[in-house]
Each structure stands twice: as C-alpha cells, then as structure tokens.
Amino acid sequence: MKTIDSAILDRAKIWLTDVFDSETRRKVQELIDKRPEELAEAFYRDLEFGTGGLRGIMGVGTNRMNKYTVGIATQGLADYLHQLFPGDDPPKVAVAHDCRNNSAYFTQITAEVLSANGIKVYVFDALRPVPLLSFAVRELGCQAGIVITASHNPPEYNGYKVYWEDGGQLVPPHDKNIIANVHKTSVDQIRFGMKEALITTLDASFDDLYIERVKSLSMQPGIIEKHNDLRIVFSPIHGSAVRLVPEALKAFGFRAVFNVSGQDVVDGNFPTVDSPNPEEPAALSMALDKAREVDADLAMATDPDGDRVGVAIKDPAGEYVLLTGNQCAAILTYYVLEQMKQQGRLRGDEYIVKTIVTTELLSEMAESYGVECLDVLTGFKYIAEKMRLLEGKKRFLCGGEESYGFLVGDFVRDKDAVITCCMIAEAAAWARGQGLTLYDLLIRIYLEYALYVETMVSITKKGMKGAEEIKEMMDRFRRRPPETVDGKTLARMIDYQAGTDRDLYLDEEHPVDLPGSNVLQFILEDGTRITMRPSGTEPKIKFYFGCRTGLNKAEDFDHKRKEMLATIERIKKDLQIG
C-alpha cells in the first residue's frame, strides 16, 4: 500500500475528532485504511477562491465540497460581513442554487450558518439561474450573495460562488480577505443552528421583476412583432434556466419556442450529455436534433447555472453550425452598437468590456462607433468590477468573453444566458427583417471589419501532479519564449503576472495596467495572439489562439477561415501544444 504523507495524514486525523459527525468520521477512516491516494487528493490542500469562487469534487476532506468546507466558507464570510457592516441592522445575503447533486443541501447549510450568525437571508424556493441571484443582490439591497453551483463541471463537482453588494462576483480585496477569515476559522467555530425568523423565501413573484427588466432591454419590439414566428429551440441541459429562458422569450414576444423535453428534466447527473458545457458541440446535439425536426431558425442551450449559452444557426446550405463564443459576442455587440447608432442614442460616454482572451474584433468594432472598449482579466467578475468603478461616470452597453458569456444592460453584474438568449433571438428577427439570417449577418460583420478566427485548446492535468505540470509549462514559456512561431517573429510578450509588456522589436518594456494574474500572451509580427493561462476553476491549462485577415467577398469566407485554422495548427505544432 502506498505510504501516506505524514502532513496529509495529520490533516485527515483532525476530521476523526468529535467535532465532525459520525458519517464524516467513518468516510475519512475508510480513506485512511483503504484508499490513500484518494485521501491525499482530499486533504493535500484547502479549496480556494479562483475566477469562479470555491469549486471542487464533493466528498469528505479539506479539498472537497462538503458540509464543513461550505460551513467554514460561510462562517468566514459571515465574520467578514459583520466586520465591514457593523450596526444594529443585520447584513443581508441572497442565496440561490442550481440543479447539481447536493446543491439544495449546501444551500440549506449556507442559510443555516448565515442565520445563526444573525444575518438576514433571502433564499429562492427552488433552483434559479446565476444572473437572477446577481439581480437579487442589487434589487434587495444585500451586502452579499451566494450561488451553490459548479457551472459546467462534471457531475461529481459542486461549488460556492460569492457575490458582493454590487451584484458582481468577489474581486480583490474582498476575496482574499474572506479567505483570510476562512483560514483562521476552525470547524468548531462554525455556528450551526438555523434562525428561521431571519430567513425569507423568494418565489416566482420575484422572477417576474427580473423578467420585466430583461424585457426592457428589447431594442426592436416592433421587429419582433413582425417576426414573432421565428422558430427557436431551447435546451437548459437539465439546468436552472429551464423556466426563465422560455418565459423571457415569450415576454419579448416570440411565439414559436420549442423545448428539448428530454433535457427539461432537472437532473444533477446530466444523463443525456457527457458534459453539460455549451462550449462543447456534443452538449447541443439534442437541441440540434430538435431544430432539424421543427426546421428552427435558431437553437440555443444554456449551462447548468444559466449564465452561458451555446448557439446554433443555419448556414447557406441549410445546415446547422455552432457559433463560437467570440462569434456570438461579435453579433451581439454589433447589434447593440448598430441599434444605439440608428436610434441616435450614442452620446460619446459609452463603453463595452471584453476579457484579454476575447476576440479583438470587439475592439475594432467599438472604435468604429466611437465607443470605448476596455480589456480586463479573464473572468466576468472583472467586467462587473469595471461596471462598478464607472457607474455614474460612463454608460455600460454590453460585455462578453470568449467562453460563451455575455451581458447587455447593467441591472445584472454577471454573464446572463437569459438576456443573451433574448437578444440573440431579437438580432435574428432584425436580420430577417432585412432578408438576412444570423449567418449572413456574421459574414457582413467580417466584410465590414475583418475575418477573425479564434480557437482554444484546454489541457487537463488533474491532482497534485497535474498542478505541478501546469506550473512547469508556464515557467518554461516564461523562461524560454520562442523567437519565432510559424516563421513569424515574436513581437511582444505580455506577462500579466509580472505586470510587464515587452516590445521585442524596440527592446522596450512597459507596465500592464491590470492586476497580477498568471497569464502569458505572445503577439506575433502579423498580430496573431497566443495566450496561455491555468484555469482558476478547473484542473486545466488553456491556450487561446487568434488570427486576423481581410475578407473582401462573402464566397471567400470558407477558404480564408480554413487557411487561418491551418495557421493555428502550425502554431500549436511549433509550440508543442496538443
């Protein structure tokens, strides 16, 4: 039997004390006696907040999602809230959850600990999309919010996202301060014992407030009225958008919405997909089957927590093709900017936001409309942070990221698949009013600006060994960056961890005006971008590739796109990225 590291064993033995319930103690003892490798993975570290908060495999251990790690996180948050918001009025926290196994249970634990600490809690009566929680924090004047979700991770995962009083996910310094509180909190300090008088249940009547605000974003209600027969297929992939997306589409005026009945079933095991991730084509297979059956104009599928959406549209041959997150963001941004211009609503104080790994097409597009485009680190919480910092000074129009997250309007402070589904459908109706499909509209954008092609490679490296391998990969690219890639000279190297932007032509170095983050970006002489970063929420390292070329004729699209994809394949080979 493999020898157990003594430090890990000491951490595990703490969980054999009477502070923990008997079932937890039994499971920990079983790991010690029979499964030392699982024990090591469960106890070698504490879960920490990344770009998406606390997230991990469910089970016993400090590195797992369970009653005690959720309890400690909640106790640390409760202590921090009392430190920042002292006084007679108790702090207020809204709590929601998705469809995952144990999500309702972890929500109960969270509400119990918060109320035991004298905090007023608003809890939704059933699963809800993440953006509704963000809306609730602002609408109810809460100091924080929590969503129990692991987004699109496999079924064995769950998570704990914390939102601040602005409705956005935690950003520095609050994330680190809460972690500091958590680190000094022991299990015996968790206050269990629910105070029901401090808990208020939110039902469907609260959803109606949100739907009304979503409806207010419509920029062309007259166009929808003319084309309300647009055929739309929607799947929640067993998740939390099952009710609100169809209701919101109906509120916008769409009358031909077709559900994927087999995926309307709420189920944390996600029985019809290998992965409930709308970035992966297989996750939309049932939606596409339904689209073919009803001859839909548009098919959409949201992830389990209802903040991201995958979109399929028809090409000129009548075949369904999947939009990338960048393409979806480009269509939405173009639609919003064009409507603002046509309606005379651009005043010169508007801005959009994108992440540093999202297509540069958004920047080019915004510049042409006289709208500022701001870059932020990966993670929608940084888009929300910009919204908070600029509130009352400039007008936020929209923001997006390549990983299928987008937001229009400012009453939600996270990516919102409900809003995105409605706005994509409205853009499709607007395009139809001009005799175009969404595919035609995308080509029009490329003809007007340039053809941008982006791909991403995600390499999974699980456990302690995987974390070490990811670190070694990042260290290697930092220490020995290539002089050329695919025969093109490396012109700039941006190290967001070091905060440096090096111009290799001029041998100059400039500071990066963003917080430190373990991200490295290579920019080649032709503008091609290669970005690498370890994921903050999954055991992965991600590589992003982006190329740009002119497009003069619509019929050249396929050929040019294939050329650029071939270029990206050569780049991956050069960098030994599989």
Locate the DSSP E strands across 110-237. Answer: 120-124, 144-148, 157-164, 199-202, 231-235
Using N-to-C axis directions, what is the helix angle for 36-43 and 463-479, rounded to 10°? 60
Is residue 211 within 8 Å of 252, Cβ to Cβ?
Answer: no
Catalytic residue among 151, 235, 240, 517: 151
Q: What is the DSSP string of 343-390?
A: TT---S-EEEEEETTS-THHHHHHHHTT-EEEEE-SSHHHHHHHHHHH
What's the length of the chain? 578
Cα separations in angstroms, 172 against 36, 49, 136, 169: 36, 11, 22, 10
Report the half-sphere exposure of 152 (CA within 13 A, side-chain side): 22
DSSP state of 151: T
CA gyration radius, the chain:
24
**Dist. CA 490–CA 530, nearest whole Å:** 10
278 upstream amide cis, omega within 30 of 0:
no
Cα separations in angstroms, 485 against 37, 193, 457: 40, 60, 17
Is residue 384 within 8 Å of 207, Cβ to Cβ?
Answer: no
SS3 169: strand
151 catalytic residue (yes or no) = yes
Q: What is the DSSP string of 473-535?
A: HHHHHHHS--SEETTEEEEEEEETTTTEEEETTTTEEEE-SS---S-EEEEETTS-EEEEEE-
CA torsion sign for 155, 161, 167, 173 is negative
**Dist. CA 276–CA 302, nearest whole Å:** 9
- Which are the catalytic amino acids? 151
